[in-house]
Amino acid sequence: MSTSSETKPLRPAQETGLLSWLGTTDHKRIGVMYFFTTLVFFALGGAESGLLRAQLAQAEQNLLTEEIYNQVFTMHGITMVFLVIMPLSAAFFNYLIPLMIGARDVAFPRLNAFSYWVYLFGGIFLYSSFLLGGAPNGSWVGYAPLASDSVSNMGFYAIGLQILGISSLAAAVNFIVTILNMRAPGMTFMRMPVFVWMALVTNFLLLFAIPVIAVALFMLQFDTLFGAQFFQPGSGGDPILYQHLFWLFGHPEVYIMILPAMGIVSEILPVASKKPLFGYAAVVFAGAAIGFIGFGVWAHHMFTSAIGPVARSAFALSTMFIAVPTGIKIFNWVFTMWGGKLKFTTPMLFSIGFVSMFTIGGLSGVTHAIVPHNAQQHDTYYVVAHFHYVLFGGALFGLIAGIYFWFPKVTGKMMSEKLGKLHFWTWLLGFNLTFGPMHMSGLLGQPRRTAVLPGELGSTVELYNLLSTAGVVVLTGSALVFLYNLLHSIKRGEESGLDPWDARTLEWLTASPPKHHNFDKIPTVTHRDEFWHRKYAEDESGMPISVPAGASEDHDGEDDPDEHIHMPDNSLWPFIMCIAFLPFGYGLVFLNPWLFGLGVLWMVVGYFGWIVEPLAEGDDDDVPDDVHDRPTVGATTH
């Protein structure tokens, strides 16, 4: 770093300590911050689900009042969707996209920090509602006009999600530009890792879907806070309009949550099978097709709402249609394993678990498209079972597979395989025990979002609910095993070496953990699965043979470092600016012009501080280390 930065108090040059984190613009550190923040929110969302299941363990229980129960289930949904699954995917995007495409950082490093801080303060804002008069209790979909009623306390929802949406939008722009513009020489679109492809599709979905919910939330906020009448039928508004807007965002949102996990699994299955991904192009195009069709199925969340038979028919057809590309992906994953030599590492187990459990969620999804019977399934625990098989059995299994898989990349250490397998099997058991019975309790008549399990639903429904609660106990224990494994391995995990999985993609070409600037020399890409091709060549019959030099120890990228490496300096401005979202949000929720004004002013000051600050101070050439002296902690060596 240049010496001039020492004279600027708002430009921390430290490489360790709190300030270095508050001011970081390093995509890897931001990814790590995303990751740990989602862990905290996952614990909160999990604790909420524990409360819900405790209440429903027996019929007619009243451990929680209706008032509290309704807040808890609302916050459980908001937390898991907006504060866990989406940002956990963002953690992977942050850490992996630049490494996988052979770049040194994302396109807009400070905007990247901004995205993280907005997310953090948005999450804090939402959770502070528990202390400020009660959390939102209008369910995560926030249907008007219930949500516009002040008793639903949905001001925090409308503004909190708006803040989180800003985070997602900024991140989406950043990742799209990064992927389109910053790929290493030779990395054509069809040589990109599937994870990067899915990240690209996901971020385009965010880019187009977030503005839709932004409109819905603005209208809801105006109804809630200022008495506008967008969704009030008595004055000409339309409650169903909100549903259309919400789900026009909400269904692409489902794919926003699942596509990153699909990308992760598409990376892990080939590595653990020692074969390339079966049907790369089919998987990529199926992902893109899902992205497109995903915008045309939203009203299947509204089959029992006030929409007519023609709309119901149209959305039934499009919903069935989207099962086709999803099926293509599943078959390609299975055939990736076919004929391989499978190693059942923990990431592989979670990946197989993903394919298997997601299939169940996909099939129950097709049954939802049978509209006449959807009227029985809708808003019951059958639907709760379905979307947990998609989002927990699907998205979360895939993301956890990714955590185990890339942990050695991030830390240079391995997570315990023994504990990892214990985690997997208990997780699989607990998951199915929790959500499997919900299929049945739903079909036997249990509606969702009910604070009391009515005794009149019968002893079978009660039994299923008790099993679900028992499943949460198993999941809790399993999560603790994971947490212990994670924290213990960070400190005391075995050294992983550079290529613990015999991996295929570029991120494994560099040190683990990677240096601040990722690659001393930007690699030139000649193949899909570039790293694999540097280690192996195929003979004429398609059988791979090792490249004699043992390329994994001697890849050419590091021998001849680039002379000019430009890295952005740290900046505190994104952090400073984002604090403003708190007074800004409270000012709106409590209709306090002073707080609101303070927030706006603070934001403007932060914004200008950001503008006038150069990306990097002075001559910012980062001189590469001696390549034979591999650093152990990349970011701290400069």
Show contacts with other proteins in window 527-566 (CB under 8 A). 536, 538, 541-544
Site for other proteins in 460-519 (CB under 8 A): 460-461, 463-464
Q: How many residues bind other proteins (CB under 8 A)?
A: 108
Owner of token pair 């006038």: 612
Count of beta carbons in the 10 Å neighbourhood of residue 532:
21
In whole angstroms, how close is the CB of 477 to other proteins at the nearest point?
Answer: 23
Q: Identify which of 403, 472, 412 has the alpha carbon closest to the alpha carbon of residue 437.
A: 472
Residue closer to other proteins by CB (options 78, 118) is: 78
Site for other proteins in 409-438 (CB under 8 A): 436-437
In whole angstroms, how close is the CB of 206 to other proteins at the nearest point?
Answer: 27
Among 16, 47, 63, 65, interactor with other proteins by CB under 8 A = 65
User: Segment contacting other proteins (CB under 8 A): 131-139, 177-185, 220-228, 252-260?
Assistant: 131-139
List the catalytic residues: 76, 105, 140, 167-168, 251, 253, 255, 266, 300-301, 326, 329, 448
| Residues 22, 25, 29, 34, CA torsion sign | positive
In whole angstroms, how close is the CB of 354 to other proteins at the nearest point?
Answer: 11
Site for other proteins in 385-414 (CB under 8 A): none
* Interaxial angle between packed helices 155-181 and 109-128, expressed in degrees from 0 to 180 and rounded to the nearest 10: 160
User: Segment contacting other proteins (CB under 8 A): 177-185, 226-234, 518-526, 606-614?
Assistant: 226-234
Rounded Cα distance, 213 and 39, in Å: 26
Rounded Cα distance, 187 and 585, in Å: 43
CB 441 within 8 A of CB 461: yes
Count of beta carbons in the 10 Å neighbourhood of residue 605:
14
Rounded Cα distance, 583 and 449, in Å: 32
In whole angstroms, how close is the CB of 343 to other proteins at the nearest point?
Answer: 5
For the record, the structure tokens of 480 come out as 């603790």
Site for other proteins in 358-377 (CB under 8 A): 359-360, 363-364, 366-367, 369-377
| Residues 393, 291, 172, 407, CA torsion sign | positive
Class of residue 371 by CB neighbours under 10 A (exposed 0-12, middle 13-18, buried 19+): middle
In whole angstroms, how close is the CB of 345 to other proteins at the nearest point?
Answer: 11
Q: Does 228 bind other proteins (CB under 8 A)?
A: no
Residue 513: cis peptide before it, omega within 30 degrees of 0: yes
Site for other proteins in 290-319 (CB under 8 A): 304-306, 308-309, 312-313, 316-317
Site for other proteins in 7-46 (CB under 8 A): none
User: Segment contacting other proteins (CB under 8 A): 80-88, 233-241, 484-492, 566-574?
Assistant: 233-241
Q: Does 58 bind other proteins (CB under 8 A)?
A: no
**Contact letters (x/-) for other proteins, 139-158, by CB under 8 A?**
x---x-xx--xxxx------
For the record, the structure tokens of 450 come out as 């009910």
In whole angstroms, how close is the CB of 622 to other proteins at the nearest point?
Answer: 38
Quote the Cα angle for 595-68-380, to 5°.
Answer: 115
